[in-house]
């Protein structure tokens, strides 16, 4: 493993309480991300260096692009379509409700698979009380008009770190709860959208930081934020730690490749209320790293030709 001396650039002193789900729009050359407790969606434009913000009626855990101005989101009570209007107006249309097994739950980390299905995990917001209520769901709007929210996996405390290999046949998933701290790999069937053959990919007890949000680069390597350690780690497809990049905050939350050549690694972060900011005044900021590798365009949500199997 090598510790890179890549320079970290502060893109925005965003002061997000929980900055998550960064998604680079190639068409707009802009980065979108959410601040979960603030119920906001943000957009940073590379060309103008300006930020736009939309306020949602529920907490947004994760987002994925649909078409320009339209997004899909995992929120508190279900999956929603977001329509981004002018002057901060946000259209908020329910696509599917979720039946949480306990009160006080919401969607957390998620993204689209390579075929355009939207996958996201749920968690109990009071992490200290979590007993594995979290699940991973898949939402698709099939070409025959059937909307489906299907429960794929169960038994998680804080599902996180979802990502897909470049060929879409491997799905990565972590549980960032302090009592778990594991990353798994699954075989993923791109035709049916189902994961199988779960196995340990990385035991994060052996690596600094709890596993948080993740991305995959063009070489198929898996990048994951080491929350509490101020690091972003790169693992090879074999699960070997290859590189760690430092950021000037303790709680990097999620990373995403972007920029004109997809060679910039954007990192969102967390600014918990009541923490001592003396040694990390930029907590909650948005950062950019130059890791020396390129990423992949993020898939957009789109109808897929065949419905998912029932549980």
The pLDDT tens digits of the residues spanning 209-265 come to 999 999 999 999 999 999 999 999 999 999 999 999 999 999 999 999 999 999 999
| pLDDT computed for residue 310 by the predictor | 44
Question: What sign does the CA torsion over 202, 203, 206, 212 have?
Answer: positive
Task: Round to whole Å and give the CA distance between 17 and 83.
Answer: 24
> Strands 62-67 and 147-156, how do they pair?
unpaired
| pLDDT computed for residue 308 by the predictor | 47
Burial 136-149 (b: 16+ CB within 10 A, else e): bbbbbbeeeeeebb
CB-based contacts of 278, cutoff 8 Å, min separation 6: none
| pLDDT computed for residue 158 by the predictor | 98
* The two three-digit tokens of residue 132, written as one number: 């594995």
| pLDDT computed for residue 184 by the predictor | 98
| pLDDT computed for residue 19 by the predictor | 98
The CATH architecture annotation of domain 2-289 reads: 6 Propeller (2.120)
**What are the sequence ranges of the domains in the chain?**
2-289
Positions marked active-site: 212
Q: Quick check: 54 and 90 in contact, CB under 8 A?
A: yes
H or E stretch at 181:
none
Task: Round to whole Å and give the CA distance between 297 and 23.
Answer: 9
76: phi > 0 → left, psi -120 to 50 → alpha, else beta; which?
alpha
| pLDDT computed for residue 148 by the predictor | 87
Residue segments in the chain with a per-residue pLDDT below the cut of 70: 1-6, 142-147, 304-311
- HSE at residue 98, side-chain half, CA atoms within 13 A, is 31
């Amino acid at each position: 493993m090598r510790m890179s001396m890549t320079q970290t650039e502060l893109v925005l002193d965003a002061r997000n309480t929980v900055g998550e789900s960064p998604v680079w729009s190639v068409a707009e050359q802009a980065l979108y991300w959410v601040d979960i407790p603030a119920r906001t969606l943000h957009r940073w434009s590379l060309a103008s260096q300006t930020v736009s913000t939309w306020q949602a009626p529920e907490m947004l855990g994760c987002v994925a692009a649909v078409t320009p101005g339209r997004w899909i989101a995992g929120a508190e009570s279900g999956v929603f379509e977001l329509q981004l209007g002018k002057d901060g107006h946000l259209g908020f249309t329910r696509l599917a409700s979720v039946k949480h097994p306990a009160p006080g739950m919401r969607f957390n980390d998620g993204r689209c698979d390579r075929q355009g299905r939207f996958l996201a995990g749920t968690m109990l917001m009071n992490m200290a009380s979590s007993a594995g209520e979290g699940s991973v769901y898949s939402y698709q709007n099939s070409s025959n008009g059937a909307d489906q929210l299907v429960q794929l996996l169960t038994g998680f405390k804080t599902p996180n770190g979802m990502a897909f290999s470049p060929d879409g046949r491997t799905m990565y998933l972590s549980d960032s709860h302090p009592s778990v701290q594991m990353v798994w790999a699954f075989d993923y069937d791109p035709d049916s959208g189902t994961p199988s053959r779960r196995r340990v990919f990385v035991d994060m007890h052996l690596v600094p930081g709890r596993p948080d949000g993740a991305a995959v680069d063009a070489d198929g390597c898996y990048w994951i934020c080491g929350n509490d350690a101020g690091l972003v780690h790169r693992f090879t497809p074999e699960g070997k730690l290859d590189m760690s990049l430092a950021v000037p905050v303790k709680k990097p939350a999620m990373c995403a490749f972007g920029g004109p050549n997809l060679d910039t690694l954007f990192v969102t972060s967390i600014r918990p209320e009541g923490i001592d900011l003396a040694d990390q005044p930029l907590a909650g900021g948005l950062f950019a790293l130059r890791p020396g590798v390129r990423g992949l365009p993020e898939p957009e949500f789109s109808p897929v030709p065949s419905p998912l199997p029932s549980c």
